[in-house]
Amino acid sequence: MNETAKPNYLTFAYRNRRILSFGFLMAFGSSFGQTYFVGIFSPSIEAEFELTHTEWGGIYMAGTLLSAALLPFSGRLIDHMSVRKYAILVACGMAVACIAMALAPAAWTLILTIFLLRQFGQGLCQHTAVTGMVKYFDRDRGKAVAIAILGFPAGRALLPVLAVSLIAIIGWQYSYVLCGIAGLLMTPVIVWLLPAQTRLANSETSLPILTGLSNDRRLGDMLRDPFFFMMLPALMAPAILETAMNFHQLTIANMKGWSPEWVTGGYAIFAVMTVVFSMIAGDLADRIGAARLMPFGLLPLAAGVLVVAYFDHYIWAWVYLGFFGVSSGLMVTCIPLLLAEVYGTRHIGAIRSFAATVSVFGSALAPPMLGYGLDAEVSLHKMAIIGALYVVIASLLMAYACHKENNRPK
């Protein structure tokens, strides 16, 4: 075989099985702080603390905004310590967050527990999974990210159904205690999967695909770059739309006449589509670059929102989740790869954590916005149409930004 030929997925996965398993584990572990998982507990929490949709959404927004404010600082620490040590700290923090959620004594304390869940689960577990792969791999980086992020759909396929069952059997508080125990059990697995001397990629061999760009750009360079600001709406779109619908998923299901068991069961469809399209995206990104691929990643998200707007039959619940899965597979793979292409890998921890902050900020706004609309009895159809229009505009702006950068004179 030609030495320069790229290995297929199976060969690549076998050769790098321990590091890729580490990425998968961190991605899977992020589920405990993801909106789709917290949303399963929403009816129980609202009943426990006598909260309206708007009040619970406001608490979620406050905790998430606090997490977003800290993320640029906590996220950049991965550039200044070993990935192994950083991952252990993150896993322990997530365990504490889950147990704190179970022990919350009053409604106002939920702001702190949501902050911890979003910071260590949705924020830093996810950040560690993706940034770790970017740091460890220079060649075949797309494949590495695509394989590691399979932990996201795996968690989404398994945990909602498990959570619904556990809540029915032992209650929501004890369910979160079990999540905390799972977080603690991650730490010895991390130690085993990630040897202390694991080699990092050489950033100098990882040249960006877009023309005219340095491979050693810092966070300040990104914040002065018009490309980043044209990319912002696309970064925020999945966070806004998916978070809004995941957080209020059972309320929306009730409005559409879909059973909770049917909707949560549909996450298996979401997971399959995410797996398939993340693998496709990883391979294509290695071949043509994430910049050429990413503008198409948002279009299935718009299609899924339109399905919710126009169709009520229960089978359409799985169709919309399938479209969301396609978009998730494309976007979760392409975003970190695009940042590496444009800005290089030397300061990728700081750069990606700031980009994640933008996404988390969008996810903070989404639940109270949709919650207010639901409490005010605004048509779900109307809100879905507005969301789909936003996604299409963000996709067009992203396409224009990538085209402009690809044609920048050297």
What's the mean per-residue pLDDT of the chain? 82
Distance CA 180, CA 392 (A): 39
On the question of pLDDT at 90 being above 90, the answer is: yes
One-letter amino acid of 214: S
- Other C-beta atoms lying within 10 Å of the C-beta of residue 390: 18
Rounded to two decimals, the pTM is 0.73
264: left (phi over 0), alpha (psi -120 to 50) or beta: alpha
Q: List the structure tokens of 17.
A: 């099985």
pLDDT digits (tens, 9 = 90+) for 168-224: 999 999 999 999 999 999 989 888 888 765 555 444 444 344 443 445 667 677 778
In this prediction, residue 211 carries a pLDDT of 40
b/e sequence 248-273, b meaning 16+ C-beta within 10 Å: bbbbbbeebebeeeebbbbbbbbbeb
Instruction: Write the CATH number of the domain with boundaries 9-198+216-406.
Output: 1.20.1250.20
Would you kindly state where each structural domain of the chain is located, as residue ranges? 9-198+216-406
CA contacts within 13 A on the Cβ side of 154? 15
The tens digit of pLDDT for each residue in 324-355 reads 999 988 888 888 888 877 777 667 777 777 88
Q: Report the 10 Å Cβ neighbour count for 146.
A: 30
φ/ψ (deg, to 5) at 50: 55, 55
CB neighbourhood size of 31 (10 A): 25
The tens digit of pLDDT for each residue in 36-72 reads 888 889 889 989 998 887 788 889 888 988 988 888 8
- Indicate the DSSP class of residue 7: P
Q: What's the chain's length in residues?
A: 410
